[in-house]
């Protein structure tokens, strides 16, 4: 077995460890000797036993999941994920756990007092230490964990839950569909045309509410979007963002985020073959309800990847030819996330983090709040029942653990 070329950590792109292999103590011993060449053999042997034991327990729970009632399925899935996380931590750090504090969950949940009860608004409190915090550091996520958040924000950040969250709690949606062509009947090719707003031929389109849900104007959100793109490629300058304004000699673009000490300048509005990424404050440049973005949105750090094991379409979708004008991955009410290009409204957190939070809160309902959990199971709480059942159906235990760093 060769050490991966250029290996630096567990989250190195070249590190992909089959989960079944971690159940073999012999395999893990060799892996640890490659990952920790200067460590004593005794430490590698001890950690190998811990890694394989955790992996076996996680695999056993995953296998049991298919045969248990939905009433206890969140418990099974949460503890399966927790054991996979422990296996990775023992693999990455031979001294783990350094204290008993890091063996705690790392989060707690406060049940909402709303009547009727609404699970997505339960508040998660993130502590200083725990399994979650340890893996966050090992995975080199960067940034800091939030101090607290509503579980619905995690649910709304999972790509396969976009439809359901947008339908019942649109304010919690954080992933949005991206279109390659604007909706039908919204295009025109010249400023003087009355057939619809002028839009560029080479662009991407996202729903306008992506900015409103962040509490931002379209111009503010676009400035953040373009800045994140520049920073991801090493350009620290802030790209200009323009708004369309009507001047005495026709429509112009005005810079809405000029450099400090400078006033916004006006530029002629380009024709349809140009590139127009305004703030959407005017209908001259964007279809109603949509924002125009650069066409290379798939290269943006906020671009949402599909979960492991799910089919991912790499081709842009064109018009469907239907009377609604939406492409195949859309309907008149919202996106069908499983077949769309998707975009987060901000720098995304790891998918495994969202799964951890969602499953922790569901397992807490199972353990401590039997009345609320029973209402969900019996459909007395229909909205939460839909969200819980869709989440458990769309994300298998294998896809959840497959989102962890280094595992396949």
Phi, psi (deg, nearest 5) at residue 243: -115, 145
Neighbours of 26 (CB within 10 A): 10
Cα–Cα distances in angstroms (integers) from residue 373 to residues 6, 16, 72, 121, 383, in the given order: 48, 37, 10, 15, 13
Burial (0-12, 13-18, 19+ Cβ within 10 Å), 16: exposed
> What does each of the 408 residues of the chain score in pLDDT, given as a tens digit?
344 433 445 656 566 788 899 999 999 999 999 889 999 999 999 999 999 999 999 999 999 999 999 999 999 999 999 999 999 999 999 999 888 888 899 999 988 777 889 999 999 999 999 999 999 988 877 778 999 999 999 999 998 998 899 999 999 999 998 887 766 545 543 344 445 444 444 578 888 899 998 889 999 999 999 888 887 776 555 455 544 444 555 544 444 445 444 444 433 333 332 333 443 333 346 778 888 888 778 788 898 755 444 433 333 222 232 222 333 343 333 444 434 688 999 988 999 999 999 999 999 999 999 999 999 999 999 999 999 999 999 999 999 999 998 888
Cα–Cα distances in angstroms (integers) from residue 205 to residues 239, 345, 381, in the given order: 19, 13, 35
Kindly give, in sequence order, each residue whose CB lies less than 8 Å from that of residue 263, ignoring residues fewer than 6 positions away: none
Exposure string of 194-219, with b = 16+ CB inside 10 Å and e = fewer, is eebbbbbeebbbbbbbbbebeebbbb
Handedness of CA 16, 18, 22, 28 (dihedral sign): negative
Burial (0-12, 13-18, 19+ Cβ within 10 Å), 171: middle
Model pTM score = 0.78
Query: CA-CA distance, 378 to 337, in Å (whole number)?
Result: 27
**Domain limits of the chain?**
19-157+350-401, 173-344
Nearest to 47 by CA among 112, 94, 106: 94
């Amino acid at each position: 077995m060769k050490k991966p070329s250029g290996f630096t950590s567990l989250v190195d792109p070249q590190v992909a460890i089959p989960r079944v292999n971690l159940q073999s103590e012999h395999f893990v011993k060799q892996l640890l000797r490659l990952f920790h060449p200067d460590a004593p053999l005794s430490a590698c042997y001890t950690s190998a036993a811990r890694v394989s034991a955790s992996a076996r327990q996680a695999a056993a729970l995953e296998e049991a999941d298919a045969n248990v009632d939905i009433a206890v399925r969140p418990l099974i899935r949460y503890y399966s994920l927790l054991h996979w996380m422990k296996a990775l931590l023992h693999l990455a750090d031979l001294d783990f756990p350094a204290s008993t504090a890091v063996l705690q969950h790392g989060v707690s949940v406060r049940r909402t007092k709303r009547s009727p009860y609404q699970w997505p608004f339960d508040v998660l409190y993130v502590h200083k230490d725990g399994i979650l915090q340890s893996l966050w550091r090992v995975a080199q996520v960067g940034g800091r964990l939030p101090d607290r958040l509503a579980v619905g924000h995690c649910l709304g950040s999972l790509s396969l839950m976009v439809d359901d969250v947008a339908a019942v709690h649109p304010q919690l949606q954080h992933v949005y569909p991206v279109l390659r062509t604007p909706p039908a009947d919204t295009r025109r090719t010249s400023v003087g045309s009355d057939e619809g707003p002028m839009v560029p031929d080479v662009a991407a389109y996202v729903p306008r509410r992506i900015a409103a849900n962040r509490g931002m104007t379209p111009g503010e959100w676009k400035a953040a979007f373009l800045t994140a793109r520049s920073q991801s490629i090493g350009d620290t300058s802030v790209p200009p963002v323009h708004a369309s304004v009507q001047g005495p000699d026709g429509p112009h673009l005005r810079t809405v985020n000029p450099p400090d000490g400078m006033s916004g300048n006006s530029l002629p509005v380009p024709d349809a073959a140009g590139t127009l990424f305004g703030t959407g404050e005017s209908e001259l440049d964007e279809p109603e309800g949509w924002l125009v973005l650069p066409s290379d949105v798939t290269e943006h750090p906020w671009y949402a990847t599909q979960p492991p094991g799910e089919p991912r379409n790499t081709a842009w979708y064109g018009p469907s030819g239907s009377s609604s004008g939406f492409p195949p991955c859309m309907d008149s009410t919202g996106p069908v996330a499983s077949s769309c290009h998707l975009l987060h409204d901000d720098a995304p957190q790891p998918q495994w983090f969202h799964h951890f939070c969602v499953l922790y809160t569901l397992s807490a309902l199972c353990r401590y709040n039997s009345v609320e959990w029973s209402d969900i199971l019996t459909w007395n709480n229909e909205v939460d029942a839909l969200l819980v059942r869709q989440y458990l159906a769309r994300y298998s235990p294998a896809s959840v653990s497959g989102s962890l760093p280094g595992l396949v």
